Amino acid sequence: MKIQELAAEIESTLLMEEQQIEQFRIRFLGSKNILKDLYAAIKDIPNEQKKAYGQSVNALKEHAERRFLEAKAALHKVQKLSNNEDLTKPAGSPKVGAHHPLSLIRKEILNIFKQIGFDVSEGPEIEDDWHNFSALNFPIEHPARDMQDTFFIQKGEEELALRTHTSSVQVRVMEQQQPPIRTISPGRVFRNEAISARAHCFFHQVEGLYIDKDVSFADLKQTLLFFAQTLFGTQTKIRLRPSYFPFTEPSAEVDISCTLCDFKGCNVCKQTGWLEIMGCGMVDPNVLEACGIDTDVYTGFAFGMGLERIAQLKYRVNDLRLYSENDIRFLSQFKSGMA
């Protein structure tokens, strides 16, 4: 009888508040708990009923423990909710990501050229020999092909390559379109290089191409000056040094005045005051002809730059590997660049 009463009490006691729970604990689970009398009474129980009696007292104890733990957990939840989680509060701001620095710089470069009438064109990363080399005036067996350590892919009889530069997109555009052509081609390129702080087996380039009547070297220079000053500031100077590329004649390498030291000399410009940013030149007539453009009527210029290099100069990132390691501590530093 006593057992049933206690079972009913255990089941029905209100356990909402801390005090109620504590009283319950003292009564049923504390050091002088009421169940102890029941255990003590076992010696007066007839032998044949001892087992059943013991089991029901044990069940009573387990019941009390269960209710106690459940009540405690429920109270804890309510307290937590009222401390930290005021459901009437406005939601906190969501965590925002950051654009990748290379995406930021690509967008900035494309925007500059869009302002002066360039459109954007893209081509495949897996290229054939014609678009990556031959049409760009790299004859078969010409040593200039060694300038670019190429990854080759064999597809049946055909040998394909991971493009080594975005100059391949020039060819595709010229094959499909007659001048005037003003296009800018961003994309990923691949070279068989050992990975280090200064070289990677894949990186990104932006290629520019302008073909029309009477396009001259002066137009090229003016376009590049506009680009450099828009990206790096109006005080920026450019310098062109003679160079060699199979697809341009004449060819030049473009330097900008060091964005850090203003010709005083520093370790970024290696004490020269100048930083190399791209290659350029007048499109070689052989290239125009290979792409079906009339060299009696049209001339043009082209240029190509590495995005990692430009980003390095803009953001002072001196290890190329950071761009592809996906380290959140690096990437989250570019949050303010969100457009």
Q: Is the CB of 35 or the CB of 287 nearer to ligand DAH?
A: 287
- CB count, 10 Å around CB of 117? 10
Tell me the C-alpha distance between 313 and 309, whole Å: 6
Pattern 250-289, ligand DAH, x by CB under 6 A: -----------------------------xxx--------
**Contact call for residue 207 and ligand DAH (CB under 6 A):** yes
- Tell me how far, at minimum, the Cβ of 302 lies from ligand DAH, in Å: 3
Name which of 19, 240, 281 is nearest 137 in CA terms.
Answer: 281
State which of residues 67, 131, 165, 172 lies at the interface with ligand DAH (CB under 6 A). 165
By beta-carbon distance, which residue lies closest to ligand DAH? 304
- Tell me how far, at minimum, the Cβ of 279 lies from ligand DAH, in Å: 3
- Tell me how far, at minimum, the Cβ of 131 lies from ligand DAH, in Å: 12
- Binding residues for ligand DAH, total number by CB under 6 A: 11
Question: Can you tell me which residue has the tokens 């001892």?
Answer: 50
Structure tokens belonging to residue 269: 């410009």
Residue 50 backbone dihedrals phi, psi, to 5 degrees = -55, -45
CB-CB contact of 167 with 306 (8 Å): no
- Tell me how far, at minimum, the Cβ of 336 lies from ligand DAH, in Å: 31
State which of residues 304, 312, 320, 322 lies at the interface with ligand DAH (CB under 6 A). 304
Q: Which residues of 37-64 are buried (b: 16+ CB within 10 A; e: fewer)?
A: ebeeeeeeeeeeeeeebeeebeebbeeb
Binding site for ligand DAH (CB under 6 A): 165, 167, 207, 245, 248, 279-281, 302-304
